[in-house]
Structure 1
Amino acid sequence: MKKIGTLCTLLLVVLWSCKDTGPKQRFLPPSTGGINSLMVVMDTELWKGEVGDRIREHFAAPVRGLPQGEPKFTITQIPPQVFKGATTYSRSVLFVERDTTTLAHIKSDVYAKPQKVAVVKGKTQNDLAQGVDSLAAMAIASFKKTEIEEAQRRFTRSLSKDNALLEELGIKLKVPSLYKVGKRDKNFVWMDIQIPRGTMNIVAYAMPGNSFTNDSTFVQDIVQMRDSIGKKYVPGPYENTYMVTEKAFAPYVFPARIKGKKAAEVRGIWEIHGYPMAGPFLTYIINDEENDRKLVLEGFTFAPSQEKRDYMFELEAILKTVDFNVSP
C-alpha cells in the first residue's frame, strides 16, 4: 500500500514537471512613444536619399482636413546600430535595410506590447523604394489602428458619467470626464472641453433614415445638413453668427465602417458665419438601420495658432467608441 502511494506521488511530480516544461510566454515591456510618433530605423545615407524621400512622401504626408499642413506621423530616424535598449520599445516602427532578400511585411509585438513593426528589405535602393511603396498603405493603416487603441486606452482611465447621449440618442461614447455637456435637446447633444486658447467639441444628433439618398448631391447635402445644425445649435460669439462649413473648399468624404455599420467619414473646415473663426471638423454619418435613422457624430476643434492633428485624433478615437447596444 505504501509503495502504491509512493508511485502515485512520483507520477504526479512527473506530470507536473512535464506541464512546467511547456513553452512559456515571453515577457514584453509596455511600448512607449507619443501619439502618432513613428520610429524609422535605417541607415542615415538611405534616409537622405530616394528611399527616405519615399518614406516621407507616404508617412509624413499632410493629414487631410486640417487648415495647415501637419504630417500623419511625427518621424524620428535613427541608424540600426542605435536601435537597442529602450528605443526598441517604440509603439510604431519602420525598419528598412539592405539585404540579400527582398521582402516587405508587418510584425506585431516584436520588442514591446502593443507594437507594430513594418519591415522592408531589399538588395538595391530601388528594391527598398518599391518595398516602401507597396507596404505604405497597409503599414499606415496598421500604425493608425494601434495609435487609436492607445489613445483610447489613455483616456478611458477616467470617463464621463453623464447620461445625455444615452437619454437623447440611445448610444454611449467613452468620453473623458473633463468633457462637459454644454447643450442638449431632443436628438441633440453638445459636449466640450477647454484646451489652451481654445476648445475641443463633440456633437451628436440624428437625421431621418431616408436622408442622403441621392449620390449625385451627397456632398452638397452633407454641407446643407451641417450648416442647418450649426445655425440652430452652434452659435458664434455675437448675434447672427453661427457655425457653417467653409465655403472655399468642399469637404473630403470617404466610405467607412463604425462598429460594423456602414458610414461616411467627412473631414473639412468649419467657420463662423459673420465672424473670423475657423477650425477642422471630423464627421461620421452612420447608417443606423435598426433605428431607421442616420446617426451623426462630429468632433471639431478651435485652437488658433496651434497644431491640431493630435486634438482631432483624440476626437476620432472618442467617436469610434460609440456603442449602439444600450437601452435608453
Structure 2
Amino acid sequence: MKKFGTLCSAILVMVLWSCKDSGPKQRFLPPSTGGVNSLMVVMDTELWRSDVGDNIREHFAAQVLGLPQPEPIFTIVQIPPKVFKTTTTYSRSILYVEQDSSSLAHIKTDAYAKPQKVAVVTGPTHEILNRNLDSLAPKAIEAFKQLELSETQNRFERSLSKDKSLEEEFGISMKVPSLYKVGKRDNKFVWMDIQIPKGTMNIIAYEMPENSFSNDSTFVDDIVKMRDSIGKKYVPGPYEDTYMKTEMAFAPYVFPTEIGGKKAAEVRGIWDIQGYPMAGPFLTYIINDDEHHRKMILEGFTFAPSTEKRDYMFELEAILRTVDFSPTSGSE
C-alpha cells in the first residue's frame, strides 16, 4: 500500500511538472516541395480557362526580361481544388483562386508546409477576382521570387567553394557552390565558371572608379562601354580578335536594387561575341561601395545554346545576392 502511495505521488509530481512546463506547442509542418520557379495554381478548371485564367497567365507567366527567347517567370501547374490535398498542399509556392461571396487578396506564410507562400484570391464575380489579382500580383510575385531565391541558396550552401580569390582581390565574400572553379584571376579581376550541359555558367567580378556613371543621361551607354572594355580585355572569344561585348540590338534593362546592404543598379541584357556567332544572357550588379571608394561590379552570364536559360540565370542571381562586404583579410 505504501509503494502504491509512493507511485501515485510520483505520477502526481510528473503531471504537475508537465502542466507547468507545457506551453503553446508548434504545429508540425512538413518540408515544402517543388522545382525552382514552379507555381501551383489551385482553381476550378473552367475558371482557369476563362478571362481570370488569362489574367493569371499574364501576371505569373510573364516573360523573364533579358533572355534571348521567351521564358515565363514561373512554370505553372493548375489543379482543381478537389485534388488539393495531402502532398499537393506541400508545394512551396501556391496561388489559390476561388469564386466566392467573400472578396480577399492576401498572402499566407507556411500554411501547409515550410517554407511556403500561399497567395489567396477570392471574389464573387470575374470582375472582382481580376481586380484582386491585379492588386495582389506584384506582391505575390515578389514573395514567390524571394522564397525561390532562398531555396536556391539553401540548396547550394550545402557545398560551398573555399576559394579565397574574391576575398583577396576585393575584400568581399560570396556563397559560391564548390563546383564553380576560378579560371582567370588578374589584378582586381576574377572569373569563375562551371560546366553545364552544352555550355557554361560564369561569374566575373571587378572594380570601377567611384565616380563612374556620374551622368544619368549617359548611364546605359556607359554601362555598355564598361562591359565591352572588360570583355575585350578579359573575356576572349574562340578566335583571335573575338571577345564578349553587349548585344546592341537589345538595349539592356536597368533597375534600382539593393545588394549586400548597398544601393546598386541591376542590369539585364544579352551578350554576344564580336566577330563570332555566340550569344547569351547576362546579369550585372553595379554596387555603390562608398566605404572603399569604388563601384563593385558583379556579373553572371550563361552560354547554353538551344537550351532554356531562366533557371541558370536565377542561380547566378542567387549567388551574386549573397555578396558580403564585411571586413575581411582581403585588400581594401
With the length of structure 2 as denominator, give the TM-score of the two structures: 0.95
Aligned residues: 323
- Counterpart position of 1:124: 125
| Distance (whole Å) between structure 1 residues aligned to residue 214 and residue 17 of structure 2 | 65
Counterpart secondary structure, 1:167: helix
- Where do 1:301-320 residues align within 5 Å? 301-320=302-321
Counterpart of 1:110? 111
Return the alpha-carbon distance in structure 2 between the equivalents of residues 19 and 110 of structure 1.
Answer: 29
Secondary structure in 1 matching 2:249 = coil
Percent of aligned pairs sharing the same letter: 75
Secondary structure at 1:256 match in 2: strand
Deviations 1:203-234 (A, max 9, x none): 00111111111000000000000000000000
- 2 CA distance for matches of 1:56 and 1:129? 12
CA-CA distance at 1:259 after TM superposition: 2.1
Q: Does the 8 A contact of 1:107 with 1:116 survive in 2?
A: yes
**Deviation by residue 1:120-154 (Cα, 9 ceiling, x = unmatched):** 01011111111111100000000000000000000
Aligned equivalent of 2:66: 65
Aligned counterparts of 1:204 and 1:142: Cα–Cα separation in 2 = 28
Structure 1 position 260 matched with structure 2 position 261: yes
**DSSP 3-state at the match of 1:249:** coil
1:145 is the counterpart of 2:146: yes
List gaps (5 residues or longer) in structure 1.
Answer: 1-7
Shift of 1:20: 4.2
- Report the Cα distance in structure 1 between the residues aligned to 2:16 and 2:261, rounded to whole angstroms: 46
Q: Which consecutive residues of structure 2, in runs of 5 or more, have no partner in the other structure?
A: 1-8
Matches within 5 A, 1:1-328: 13=14, 16-327=17-328, 328=330
Deviation at 1:33, TM superposition (A): 0.3
SS in 1 for 2:24: coil
| Shift of residue 261, structure 1, vs aligned partner | 0.5
8 Å CA contact 1:272–1:278 kept in 2: the answer is yes
Q: Secondary structure at the match of 2:192?
A: strand
Q: How far does the alpha carbon of each residue in 1:23-66 deviate from its partner, in whole angstroms, 9 at most, with x for none?
A: 10010000000000000000000000010000000000000000
Cα distance, 1:9 vs structure 2: 7.9
* AA at the equivalent of 2:101: T
Q: Distance in 1 between matches of 2:57 and 2:48?
A: 9
Give the TM-score taking structure 1 as reference length: 0.96
Superposed displacement of residue 19, structure 1: 3.3
Give 1:22 deviation, angstroms: 2.0
Shift of residue 16, structure 1, vs aligned partner: 2.1
| Secondary structure of residue in 2 paired with 1:56 | helix
Question: 1:245-268 CA distances to partner (integer Å, 9 max, x unpaired)?
Answer: 001121000000002210000000
Shift of 1:98: 1.4
Structure 1 equivalent of residue 3 of structure 2: none
Task: For 1:326 and 1:206, locate their aligned partners in 2 and report how far apart those are by CA, in whole Å.
Answer: 17
Contact 1:172 1:326 in 2 (8 A): no
* Cα offsets for 1:173-231 (capped at 9, x unmatched): 11111111010111110000000110000000111111111000000000000000000
* 1:295-324 deviation per Cα after TM superposition (whole angstroms, max 9, x unaligned): 000000000000000000000000000011
Q: Encode CA deviations 1:69-102: one digit per residue, 9 max, x unaligned.
A: 0000000000000000100000000000012210
State the AA in 2 paired with 1:126.
Answer: E
CA distance in 2 between partners of 1:26 and 1:326 (Å)? 40
Query: Residue 237 of structure 2: SS of its match in structure 1?
Result: coil
RMSD: 1.6
Find the counterpart in structure 1 of residue 6 from structure 2: none
Aligned to 1:5: none
Secondary structure of 1:278's partner? strand
Aligned AA (2:320): L
In the alignment, the residues of structure 1 paired with residue 12 and residue 35 of structure 2 have an alpha-carbon distance, to the nearest angstrom, of 53
